[in-house]
Amino acid sequence: MLRPRQSSKGMYQRRSTPRITATRGWREDNTSRGSEAGVPGDGSWNGTVDGEESSEDANRGGGSFEAEGRARYGLRALRNRGWDWGVRAWRGEGGVGLLLAEEDASIFELTTIAACESIEASILDAVKTIPPTTLYKLPNLRSQTLTLRAAIRMNPVLLSSLADCAAIEARRRDHVFIQRSGPDAFAPNPKYPKLPKGFAFDWKTFKEKYPVKSFVPLPSDPVTRLPRVQHVFSDEAFKGILSRQKPRQEAVKQSFIRAWDAYRSYAWMRDEVTPITKGSYDSFGGWAATLVDSLDTLWIIDLKDEFHEAVRAVANIDFTTTETEEINVFETTIRYLGGLLSAYDLSGEQSLLTKATELGNILYAAFDTPNRMPVTHWKIHSAFLGLEQEASGVCLLAEVGSLTMEFTRLSQLTKDPKWYDAVHRIIKILEERQSKTKLPGMWPLVLDARTQNFEGQVHAFTLGAMADSLYEYMPKMHALLGGVDGMYERMYKDAMAVVAKHILYRPMVPDNADILISGKVTMNVNGDVELDAEGQHLVCFAGGMFALGSRLFDIPAHMDIARKLTDGCIWAYNATPSGMMPEVFHMVPCPASEPCMWDESRYKEAVVAAHANSVFLPDDKQGDKNNSAEAIIARERLPKGIKSIEDRRYILRPEAIESVFILYRITGRTELLDTAWDMFTAIEEMTKAPFGNAALNDVTVPRGTAGDAPLSNRMESFWLAETLKYFYLMFSDPSLVSLDEYVFNTEAHPFRRKKG
């Protein structure tokens, strides 16, 4: 899911918005990892993180950057990209500076208010303080927005202003991560006027500028009798196995109840509860994201009283108003619309379909553009006021291509084809361009929805963040439509042939396990495919996707791929001291045509090469000894087989248990029950917080140290909507939400399938 799933979900991830922090990180010597910015003299940096002010002495040494001789800023470069990905700001005599870094960031919007003599944006080389590449230098900015575009997985970007700006604001998705302001408040941008607090939109009065004259109807052909998906669990031996899962099922339920009670007590009708401080946080429009996202889980785990209380609360959600200037259409669709539709499919509560239709009508206005491509990051206030809209020139693949299931299900339930028409137009464009990209069969991570040009500056291809749910939805849409449209089967087969050839790789691991990891490829200037042997927690959904595709399309080889991909994610869980997989890491790929046997020397060489650009702190006195493989492995706490960890967090993600669950339901492999239990107990032990569960900042912290584990004060809604749902279903009777009756969206919301 981008699981954007920040949302996926990610910056641009399925299901999730990766948190950009400005707080101190954890390191083995317990020193700060979070103050890379330094200013000679009076410097201190200030950041706004989730609405909380954070400041720290930044008068430190370690390198400097001089902008046109006008302002000097010291940057302390930490070894091996050791900082917390985030935003740093500082003020000096010459102006304001920002350091932006995020593991998947490709786009930042920089807004300057009042006059700045100039703004310069430079890419830093790894963690060095030398800015070799200037992206932009714009003079005389005043109340303007600058969009930074750089290669995916860009190195940190340094923004520096010459002369004093009243403010600099950096945005990504729905959040303002850092804000430096002078005495004057921000002036509203005249193009996107700010409406009074509490102003409600009457969307019934909304007039489209580019109405559709003829809708593409829902397929009316008789539903095809699709192959059985779920394993037949009927033998007596299995009944005994199932009875032994009851305590495990109950443990998952109690974890859900504890987190739900915390949300109900301290963040009711807000988007999230903060699990450490028992506060609240609005991350997705302020429309009670956790409540709506958790509706179907409440029903599934048989908390019917809590479900009906939540349904009554949903009636009071006003989707016609929000204090958020810009909403993410993808995240709103998969969490809110998907949650409402799924809860209706399970319970039959008519008020939920009514609410889903209300939200669907609002989201439909995001498609009111000249080419009917949606505005994915949508200035909802401007739309209501009738200002001109057009799709963005920089769109993430998953965000524009992963609205199909929710919009199609809404059309199926309401018999109104307009939502199906809206997403069908997008998929037809993707189908037509599939064979014409730089890597035919797949689509690049970023596309220009305004011109429908897929040949932009970014030529990266992956099943991971920013692309994931587009591919995930291909077999799922085939199932949802009852197999009556062969388009999704063709697109899936063409894409997965390329994935199997270029994206999947065999990692070299100490036990020589027969596993696969899904990486990423880029096209170099000569048109050659270059593999980036990374691993992402987000891409663990792929095992379940291949398993479903194998069953629906009768491709036995895909079941073998599904097993190896899922086993690869299980391996990554087992490899870390905490028992959880990191967000992003890199491994050593084996040559495709050679045996994949462990080679200690080759592994150590890869570790050293991966850390070649490390910059050591001044207090590192060991010289070349710090560059040895043994020193790097010990210092970075690298599990053997992993050569580098770019993002050490586990943010309560569901993708690994999602594939374990789907593979178990499809194959009947009972050993996966113990695998799932091991995963759950590790997660529960290490992420348990006073008021729910909290994201873990470093998965290399060993189990048994839970009280000292570095936690973040976030519990995204997908913990209740997805992760705990999959764990609960894992230990339940397989007839509960059967894969032959339901198909899950990328937020784990089950939609009822059409039956033949």
- Please report, for the chain, the start and end positions of each structural domain, with discontinuous segments joined by +: 37-191, 242-583+646-752
User: In this predicted model, what pLDDT tens digit does every residue of 523-564 receive, in sequence order?
Assistant: 887 889 999 999 999 999 999 999 999 999 999 999 999 999
Task: Read off the pTM.
Answer: 0.78
Type of residue found at 294? S
Residue 427's Cα: distance from chain center in Å? 21
pLDDT on residue 756: 59
C-alpha pair distances (Å), 637 with each of 271, 571, 686, 715: 35, 17, 17, 26
Q: Which region among 51-55, 102-106, 158-162, 267-271 has the lowest average model confidence (pLDDT)?
A: 51-55
Q: What does CATH list as the number for 242-583+646-752? A: 1.50.10.10
* pLDDT band, residue 199 (cuts 50/70/90): low
Average pLDDT, the chain: 78
Question: One of 169, 349, 655, 716 is an active-site residue; which one?
Answer: 655
Active site annotation includes 583: yes
Question: One of 293, 326, 331, 349 is an active-site residue; which one?
Answer: 331
Residue 308's Cα: distance from chain center in Å? 30
- What is the sign of the dihedral through the CA atoms of 700, 703, 709 and 714? positive
| DSSP class of 336 | I
- Whether the Cβ atoms of residue 448 and residue 454 lie closer than 8 Å to each other: yes
Say whether pLDDT at 175 is over 50: no
Active site annotation includes 655: yes
pLDDT on residue 22: 25
The answer to whether 746 is a known ligand-binding residue is: yes
- Hey, which bits of 173-285 come out as E strands? 175-181, 272-274, 279-281
CA 541 to CA 655: how far, in whole Å? 5
- Whether the Cβ atoms of residue 347 and residue 305 lie closer than 8 Å to each other: no
CA 161 to CA 111: how far, in whole Å? 12
CA 510 to CA 523: how far, in whole Å? 31
Residue labelled with tokens 């990766």: 18
More confident residue, 483 or 525: 483
Q: Which region among 99-108, 360-369, 554-563, 628-637 has the lowest average model confidence (pLDDT)?
A: 99-108
SS3 sequence, 263-288?
A: HHHHCCCCCEEECCCCEEECCCCCCC
pLDDT on residue 426: 97
CA 678 to CA 511: how far, in whole Å? 19
Q: Which is nearest to 229 in space by CA: 658, 660, 743, 728?
A: 743
Q: What is the CA radius of gyration of the chain?
A: 25
C-alpha pair distances (Å), 82 with each of 386, 535, 647: 47, 18, 9
Q: Which is nearest to 148 in space by CA: 98, 96, 193, 80?
A: 98
Question: One of 120, 169, 306, 468 is an active-site residue; which one?
Answer: 468
Pairing mode of beta strands 157-162, 272-274: unpaired
pLDDT on residue 220: 82
Tokens coding 346: 């399970």
C-alpha pair distances (Å), 190 with each of 186, 187, 201, 409, 666: 12, 9, 19, 38, 54
Residue 734's Cα: distance from chain center in Å? 29
Which range has the top average pLDDT, 34-48, 329-343, 706-720?
Answer: 329-343
- What is the sign of the dihedral through the CA atoms of 271, 745, 575 and 126? negative
Active site annotation includes 468: yes
Question: One of 282, 326, 399, 583 is an active-site residue; which one?
Answer: 583
